[in-house]
């Protein structure tokens, strides 16, 4: 399962809380993130999240994110799924669909073509955390992580991203669930735990 949403929407906190919730219920959980999640992909991550916003074109980004994802898939995700573990990934291909595919030109077809050739799997469940971009941007920049290349595209970009993620839930209604991220972290975590518990119960 994956978490998606704009920068600063609380995905990382929520993915950690969900991993804890599922582990407490006795599940074998692998918590990971993109870009990154494997050694090679973490190297590529640094190229992507640091530096000047104009450092890469959207097309080059698609190739880099997909290269990182392919390494992550080969080395971590596929083996974990084969071993029967629940993989929780903080961002996955939907981020490429929205960030590179929809906000900086209409590149969605390239994203989808490359995805089907090189990645070829979709998450069973995608939790899209929705919130006001202005609040999220403040939270994101307040962290001062040095990984602000995408936040540095500015507020208008974040508004486009939000629209992109909302559209995504309409494109993939079967596997996506929209979560209101404006409440406190514990409230949001409760909502997510309930959604995931009923998803898992329905599958078993
Ligand atoms: P992330 O570490 O999730 O940042 P944050 O915790 O601030 O949300 O992701 C780093 C940046 O990379 C983020 O701004 C979103 C962007 N990104 C893409 O543009 N395309 C992608 O395919 C992925 C996975 C991330």
d(CA 127, CA 80) in angstroms, rounded, equals: 20
Mutate to test the pocket of ligand 1, among 35, 44, 55, 61 (most ligand atoms within 8 A of CB): 35
CA angle 193, 73, 42 (to 5 degrees): 90
Q: Do 62 and 111 contact (CB within 8 A), yes or no? A: yes
Mutate to test the pocket of ligand 1, among 5, 99, 119 (most ligand atoms within 8 A of CB): 99
What is the model's pLDDT at position 106?
85
CA angle 117, 166, 178 (to 5 degrees): 100
d(CA 86, CA 72) in angstroms, rounded, equals: 15
Alpha carbon distances (Å) from 114 to 31, 64, 65, 97, 128: 25, 11, 11, 11, 23
Q: Phi then psi for 120, rounded to 5 degrees?
A: 75, 0
Region label for 3, one of left (φ > 0), alpha (ψ between -120 and 50) or beta (otherwise) = beta
What is the model's pLDDT at position 142?
61
Q: Which two tokens stand for residue 31?
A: 């918590």
Secondary structure of residue 54 in the 3-state scheme: helix
d(CA 49, CA 146) in angstroms, rounded, equals: 8
4 lines ligand 1 (CB under 6 A): no
Strand 86-90 to strand 29-33: parallel, antiparallel, or no bridges (unpaired)? parallel
What's the Rg (C-alpha) of the chain? 16
Alpha carbon distances (Å) from 173 to 1, 125, 127, 170: 15, 10, 11, 5
101 lines ligand 1 (CB under 6 A): no
Cα 160 to ligand 1 centroid, rounded to whole Å: 15
Return the residue whose CA atom lies nearest to atom 14 of ligand 1.
Answer: 150
The segments of the chain whose pLDDT lies below 50 read none
Cα 95 to ligand 1 centroid, rounded to whole Å: 7
Return the residue whose CA atom lies nearest to atom 19 of ligand 1.
Answer: 99
Q: Phi then psi for 33, rounded to 5 degrees?
A: -150, 160
pLDDT digits (tens, 9 = 90+) for 112-148: 999 999 999 999 999 999 999 988 877 766 676 777 7
96 lines ligand 1 (CB under 6 A): yes
pLDDT digits (tens, 9 = 90+) for 154-173: 788 889 999 999 999 999 99
The string over 117-136, giving b where at least 16 C-beta atoms fall within 10 Å of a residue's C-beta and e elsewhere, is eebeeebebbbbbbbebeeb
């Amino acid at each position: 399962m994956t978490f998606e949403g704009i920068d600063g929407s609380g995905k990382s906190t929520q993915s950690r809380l969900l991993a804890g919730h599922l582990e407490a219920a006795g599940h074998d959980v692998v918590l990971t993130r993109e870009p990154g999640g494997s050694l090679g992909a973490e190297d590529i991550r640094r190229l992507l999240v640091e530096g000047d916003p104009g450092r890469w074109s959207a097309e080059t980004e698609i190739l880099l994110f997909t290269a990182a994802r392919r390494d992550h898939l080969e080395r971590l995700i596929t083996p974990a799924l084969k071993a029967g573990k629940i993989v929780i990934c903080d961002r996955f291909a939907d981020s490429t669909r929205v960030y590179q595919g929809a906000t900086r030109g209409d590149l969605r077809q390239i994203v989808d073509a490359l995805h089907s050739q090189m990645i070829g799997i979709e998450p069973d469940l995608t939790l899209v955390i929705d919130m006001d971009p202005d609040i999220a941007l403040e939270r994101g920049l307040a962290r001062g992580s040095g990984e602000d290349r995408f936040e540095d595209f500015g507020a208008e970009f974040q508004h486009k991203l939000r629209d992109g993620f909302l559209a995504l839930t309409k494109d993939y209604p079967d596997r996506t669930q929209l979560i209101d991220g404006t409440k406190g972290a514990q409230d949001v975590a409760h909502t997510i735990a309930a959604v995931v518990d009923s998803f898992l119960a329905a599958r078993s």
